[in-house]
Amino acid sequence: MNMAVLSQSETTVKRLAAADMRGLDTEELLSELAETGVLLFRHGAETVDEFCDFVKRHSSRLSLDPARAMEGGAAQLVDAGTDAVGLHCENGNSPFWPDLTWFYCKEAPRKGSQTTVCDGVVVLEQLSPRTRDFFLQNEIRYSRNVQADKWKRLAMHYTSGISHPDEVSFEHLQRIIGDDPNTQITYNPADESIGYDFTVSAVLVSAISRQPAFANSILGPSYNYEKPRITVAASGLPIPASMMDEIIRVSDAATIPVNWDDNDFVMIDNRRVMHGRRAIIDTRRKIFNALSYL
């Protein structure tokens, strides 16, 4: 098994000898992850279960996307259509924002269709002083509605003693959110959906890298969900169009592809590195995602 750290150029990959993946302890792994925010394990797992075992061994707890089915106790098949997917932090537009996101490629595409990654540390450095200062001084807010089946499945995951979504009540979700001042949720009794507002900075300092990074879901997708309304928290206005154009230009320049081989997987600092996807042109591509906390 070869472990590589993706750097700014796909042609510049730092390879680290690792005779036995099982011998890597979590502290060592996170130390390597802190360098660039992405670790690539070439032929790192032969099966989904082997991948899940590795994720669980190096995580305190797991999260999930409630719109996807679970396999192996940690992995979920990525099935969000075939269109290109914009850069985002996984679940970064909600209060259920995991520290780590993982991707396991069971069957690699033979043409294009790559996962992409973008280091938010690099993006922050490349933004103009005006745009950088704007996001350092202004938080952003994500607002959206979520259908009952999705939020109940998520609440069930985070609540012990519940085995079916029908057992979940809005009070369970309220207890999970607690007194978080950055999250407000409302209940819609007509269809049991919820609405939420989640306020957060677009610039984070991850516990792994300890560097400020432009890491957020401003450009992110909404394949299985209502598209969120993204506004400047203080004003309620959209992010200025000129700044959005700059974010796209700078992040595009800092984005690199993951050129998958069968049985590769990546480990991503989800509060530093954004990820996305090129349009899928080879539908043999079979990739699983896992979400977890330090």
Residue 204 lies in a domain: no
Helices marked H in 6-106: 26-36, 48-57
- What's the 3-state SS for 222-239? CCCCCCCEEEECCCCCCC
Instruction: Identify the band that residue 2 occupies on the pLDDT scale cut at 50, 70 and 90.
Output: low
Model pLDDT, residue 21: 57
Who wins on pLDDT, 14 or 126? 126
Asked if residue 93 and residue 175 are part of one domain, the reply reads: no
Examine the domain organization and report whether 22 and 117 are in the same domain: yes
Helices (H), the chain: 26-36, 48-57, 120-126, 129-137, 148-158, 170-177, 241-253
Please compute the mean of the pLDDT values over residues 129-143 and round it to a whole number.
Answer: 98
The two three-digit tokens of residue 149, written as one number = 């089946």
**Residue 32 within a domain:** yes
- pLDDT at 70 (0 to 100): 87
Average pLDDT over residues 248-259: 95
- Asked if residue 138 belongs to a domain, the reply is no
Same domain, 65 and 115: yes
Whether the predicted pLDDT of 29 surpasses 60: yes
- Number of domain units in the chain: 2
164-201 residue pLDDT tens: 999 999 999 999 999 999 999 999 999 999 999 999 99
Domain around 265:
14-121+250-293
pLDDT band of residue 279 (cuts 50, 70, 90) is confident
In a domain, 4, yes or no: no
- Domain-located, residue 229: no
CA-to-CA distance for 6 and 258, rounded, in angstroms?
Answer: 8
**Domain boundary residue among 158, 176, 192?**
192
**Would residue 84 count as lying in a domain?**
yes
Same domain, 84 and 152: no
**Domain membership flag for residue 259:** yes
pLDDT of 13:
34
Taking the C-alpha atoms of residue 139 and residue 218, their distance in angstroms, rounded to an integer, is 12
Last-in-domain residue among 192, 209, 225: 192
Global confidence as pTM: 0.92
Are 113 and 19 contained in the same domain? yes
In this predicted structure, the answer to whether residue 113 has a pLDDT above a threshold of 90 is no
114 and 53 share one domain: yes
Residues 117 and 171 in one domain: no
Would residue 108 count as lying in a domain? Answer: yes
CATH code, 71:
3.60.130.10
